[in-house]
Chains A and B, each alone.
Chain A
Amino acid sequence: MKTSIKDKKVSRKEFLKVFVGGVGALTVFNGLFKNSPTKAKGLLSSNDGEGHSWAMVIDQAKCNGCGFCIKACQASNDVSPDTTWTDLYQVSDVGDQEVYLSVPCMHCEHAPCVSVCPVNASYYREDGIVMMDYDKCIGCRYCQVACPYDARSFNWEEFTGENPAVPEWGEPDIERRPRGVPEKCSFCFQKIDRGLLMGLTPGVDSAATPACVNACPPGARIFGDLNDPESNVSQAILNSPSYRLREELGTGPRVYYLPANRGQEDAS
């Protein structure tokens, strides 16, 4: 097929038109699918700085691996003794001190479990908590396959009978999950919500704070609002080196760790 110069000119013009139009369309398209904006007004806020943005800080220098967090969680959330919502690993030794890593749900800002769930059973709350709708869940376990932190436990069978952690470690304040759905840590949303209604501050008043935080004897766990620059979590992250698990995946965990050996690094 012959193409004259004129043809070429027209086609270039048309190409430009299409190109500009395409870029415009893509911009609009991109805007439509953009995730919630990350303009931080608070210290480390990720929800526009409005409302609350809950986070947990776990100090590995203080954690002694006692496992009280697990027991308190099992009682408060009525979790089966075979299941933990906050796994505990002994990871190394620093000097003569054993170092532990407690891994609850990270309540990721970009949670793989939320994006893969085919029925929206995993979803974000305004305050950043990654929630499970146990009535919606079909039990496909895609979230479990997708979670980088193994935070989820599937109810392969129904948890029936007595909860051995009750009443020694606390009283359940949410419903037991049925068979056939995965369950996970919820930052004890029930305590937070009730506490806020009563005018309490989560992370400060124990009635409004996650059970594991309250139960920790050495006080290795801190909970609070990242939107409040004065909160103990904001201050802890500001005043000390911290890291998050598998940060390279871009999940943006809401659980921060203060490394065990930071004191030694400061000294050297």
Chain B
Amino acid sequence: MIARPKMKLNQPINIWFAILSVLIVMGLTSGIIVLVQGLSVTNLTDLIPWGLWIAIDLSSIALAAGAFSFCAAVYLLKLKELEPMARTAAFIGLIGYTMAMMCLFLDIGRPERFWHGFAFWNTHSVLWEVTMCVGLYFSVLLLENLPTIANLSWLKNKWPKLTEKMASVHHYAPYLAVAGLALSMLHQSSLGAMYGVIAARPIWYRPGLAVLFFISAMAGGVAMTTLATLIVGRIKKGVNIKKSSIEKVLKFLGWLLVGYLYLRFWDLFAMTYTYQPGKAEGLKILTSGPLSFNLWFGELLLGTLVPILLLFNSKTRKNEFFQILAVLLVVGGVIAYRWDTNMVGQLIVQKPILNEFAPLYAQYSPSLIEIGVGAGIIAFGLMAFTIGVKYLKVVDHNEGTESSIV
């Protein structure tokens, strides 16, 4: 009699797990095909060497930025009431960076040499710096998540002393927050600078990308954490979400988006100051070409402007539906921005015509295998988060206050 309603409650989550499992198996199969057959199974070419996986990699890192933002807010700005959200954010961060590393592992031509970045340093390379920071920050995230993982009940029963030690890492949270902030400011910006330093592609070659990547990552990360918190609060019974915390975060997110929109417009308009072959064509692709819908609707209107209005209007900011809609749009906007930035520089190819290097247009759409791998990695992320919610209580604003006492 008691077991039956429990089974019923479990049903939707079982369907959810089943769907994710299918996608993960699909992703694993595609991933193995990539490892065995090489990158020839992708639609990547010498003209467009970076495609869907790099976009997913950039997006996961951006959406994982809630970890450093919330940890800095709680442990450096002493906004103690956000502590439970910092726990959620740190867990999402760990998942995001894991997803990013999975993408990169498959994307590089020699996956077995993934460790070379740590062994052979080229300190002039932005990508080297990103590699080091991502590696170091992943360790920070692991440490930050130890107290959360210590919540696992069977682990607690089996090795009580170990979980006690794991939980005690919490005392170092402020130091980890400083390390996380520093490493994140470095590599979140450098991911933009990675494109910004490429003189060969004038549409990328500008200093603003680093700043825009950092700020959009902060917005995306905060939005992603809030989105996950709100959805879990709605779906999972017995989870307590502090409305006041959410509202404060959303107000901050609104202002952050205003700042981002200002910088984005400055960046966009400043690109029209000078003419360079390749730059004007890139702008055309962005503003009226194949990426224009993404730019105007995905990034600017739906990704930034509409959420700003939803977050500044106190009625919609307090309404759960509009809260979820707003943060969902921000997450989508950040993904659109990463996709557009990665594509726009590569879609313009400079080839010699009439003894000049003149811009030509290239094309790319991901192959089924690329999509399979991408879907599998995203499904892995959702699965890991769901497991975290179910067994580690990563979203619970009551749980957080308890663990902060520990």
What is A's interface to B at a CB cutoff of 8 Å? Answer: 89, 91-92, 99, 101, 103, 112, 115-121, 136-142, 144-148, 150, 152-158, 179-182, 245-246, 249-251, 259
Contact = CB atoms under 8 A, between A and B. Distances in A.
A98 B200 CA distance: 28
B157 interface: no
Given A91-B352, A92-B355, A249 B200 contact: yes
Interface in B111-145: 113-114, 116-117, 119-122, 124-128, 130-131
A185 B128 CA distance: 24
Main secondary structure of the interface of A (DSSP, over half): loop
Contact of B125 (A118, A158, A179, A259): A118
> What 8 A-B pairs come out closest when comparing CB atoms?
A139-B109, A180-B109, A148-B200, A141-B49, A118-B128, A157-B40, A118-B127, A156-B40
Nearest to A243: B355
Contacts of B107: 140
Interface string B19-42: 000000000000000000111101
Nearest to B357: A246
Contact of A148 (B44, B47, B109, B199): B199
A250 B130 CA distance: 25
A259 B355 contact: yes
A115 B124 contact: yes
Contacts of A249: 199-200
A116 B194 CA distance: 8
Interface string B210-244: 00000000000000000000000000000000000
Interface in B29-72: 37-40, 42, 44-47, 49-50
Contacts of A140: 107-109, 127
22 contacts: A91-B353, A91-B354, A115-B125, A116-B127, A117-B127, A120-B120, A120-B121, A136-B113, A137-B109, A139-B39, A140-B127, A142-B125, A144-B46, A146-B197, A150-B46, A156-B44, A157-B38, A157-B39, A157-B40, A179-B109, A180-B109, A246-B357
A116 B116 contact: no
A204 B15 CA distance: 74
Interface centre among B44, B109, B119, B127, by most A CB within 10 Å? B109
Given A144-B46, A180-B109, A101 B122 contact: no
A145 B40 CA distance: 18
B351 A89 contact: yes
Nearest to B39: A156
A138 B114 contact: yes
Contacts of B351: 89, 150
B350 interface: yes
Interface string B330-368: 000000000000000110011111110100000000000
Contacts of B38: 156-158, 179-180
A74 B82 CA distance: 62
A120 B113 CA distance: 13
Contacts of A103: 352
Contacts of B345: 145
B120 A142 contact: no
A249 B354 CA distance: 19
Contacts of B171: none
B116 A119 contact: yes
B39 A180 contact: yes
Contact of A118 (B131, B197, B198, B352): B131
B122 A112 contact: no
B244 to A, nearest CB: 37
Nearest to B115: A138
B116 A136 contact: yes
A139 B110 contact: yes
A101 B353 CA distance: 9
Given A137-B110, A156-B40, A245 B117 contact: no
Contact of A116 (B126, B350, B354, B355): B126
Given A116-B126, A120-B120, A148-B350, A154 B109 contact: yes
A138 B110 contact: yes
A139 B345 CA distance: 20
Contacts of A182: 109
Contacts of A250: 199
Contacts of B39: 139, 154, 156-157, 180
Contacts of A89: 351-353
B29 to A, nearest CB: 19
A145 B199 contact: no
B340 to A, nearest CB: 16
A106 to B, nearest CB: 11
Contacts of B37: 157
B355 A91 contact: yes
A63 B49 CA distance: 31
A145 B120 contact: no
